[in-house]
Amino acid sequence: MRITRIGSLVDGFTVQSSLKNPLRDSNVDCSGVHEKCRLMTRISAVSTQKPQILAIIGQGYVGLPLAMAAVDAGWTVVGVDNFASKVAQISGGVSPVEDVSDAQLKAALSSGSYKATTEISDIANASVIAICVPTPVDDKREPDLGLLRSAAFGIAPFIANETLVISESTSYPGTLRNVIVPTINSAKPTTSPKIYFASAPERVNPGDPVWNQRNTPRLVGAIDSESQSRAIAFYESICDAVVSVSTPEVAEAAKLLENTFRLINIALVLEFNQICSTAGIDVHEVIDAASTKPYGYMPFRPGVGVGGHCIPVDPLYLTWWARQHGGRAELVESADSVSHKMPRYVAQRAIDLVPSSSVNPKVLILGVAYKPGVSDVRESPVSELRDHLLSLGANVAWHDPLVQTWEDSKSVDLDWQCDVAVLAVKQPGMNFQQLTARGVEILDCTNTMKGCAGVTPL
């Protein structure tokens, strides 16, 4: 494993700078010049024969932040997305994701460094193509590579010779080598005999105020040495630290491990929360106490369950991959089962707070996004929570200041009359006094209302 550093330390590794400062002995402050020269050096290292244009397939939570980071690094970016409405929104300077501000997007558009389009043929002049499309699971909860295959097949006829194709989409080991490479090679022009391929699974945490495209280390694994060199040069132009691994399969497997680790630890604390609640022990005090150990422990907090585009999905790619090799990831399967049972537990806890005189309990869910500060509702555990509440005979409504519509329904005001409220996700702009002032009991699944009157902790 090799790590190149551009500006920041990566803990736990011996880091070697890949750059030299030719003006280090000068008394002139040329930091801005140095940065521009550094970026141009890295960009030109990707390809000396082609225009420095990056095409990104998919302009969502992964693709659009990547586009803005590349623009900041000096790339000209073409963002491709199938949804015409999203492209129109982006082209109008309105960002569909929280990690890209409208001001940042407008600046990129007005400078001519970025454009959004539905025309896949616009990638023809790109020296780098990054695939950033979702990789969900199907109805059997197995990998669904439909969008990834479609993206690879769609770009193939327009790929110029010596283009670098990078997959940032999360998938099981072997996806780049056995799915993307043959798909593109089977449909590419005869005038493009040499295409370079690499895997660099995305590491996006929507709404994170600290970690972003620049300061999050990136894993890069490619199918050959030249592909690896070009991919490393590309990411060095936009990232502080690039981690070179031996194969794309290592990069792909590492991404699955990262999020499976999180699922298992979250499932542990979800189960532990139920045990502590039954015993009358404050689970958060226990977690805080355990967190005083300076080694060998990492705190996780309980909630309604797991949600988002990674944690509920990526471990299922791992369990499927294990079965393809004749094994089983039993611990992962158990963690997945525990996490899916949590919304039912939360629903029952909420119903238990309803006065016995209420025949048709009315329950208000507060927050339906999968985490605070975002409008993303993908794989939100609140969906299962609502279903379980309905199965228990409840009349259910929801409120989320950041979500306009959710599963064919709209957010209600906080003055909606209810018997109990479930704080699933604490979003900015929620005025809980509107509920507590009229005596509505709140089941707090977020540990953000500790000690407040009329609030029961999960």
**Catalytic residues, which ones?**
310
Q: Is 228 helix (H, G, I), strand (E, B) or coil?
A: helix
For residue 11, with 0-12 CB atoms within 10 Å meaning exposed, 13-18 middle and 19 or more buried, which class applies? exposed
Q: Are 183 and 149 in contact (CB under 8 A)?
A: yes
- 136-173 core/surface letters (b: 16 or more CB in 10 A; e: else): bbeeeeebbbebbeebbebbbebbbebbbbbbbbbbbb
Q: How far apart are CA 339 and CA 269, in angstroms?
A: 10
Half-sphere CA count of 17, side-chain side, radius 13 A: 6
Rounded distance, CA 274 to CA 458, Å?
8
Contact present, 70 and 238 (Cβ < 8 Å): yes
Bridge partners, residue 49, by sequence: none
Nearest to 432 by CA among 401, 388, 397: 401
**3-state SS class at 396:** strand
Nearest alpha-carbon partner for 231 in 186, 191, 201: 201
Number of neighbouring beta carbons within 10 Å of residue 181? 18
List beta partners, residue 219: 243
Q: Alpha helices of 130-178 — where are they, by DSSP H? A: 146-155, 175
Residue 81 near residue 116 (C-beta atoms within 8 A): yes
116-129: string of b/e by CB count within 10 Å (b at 16+)? bbeebebbbebbbb
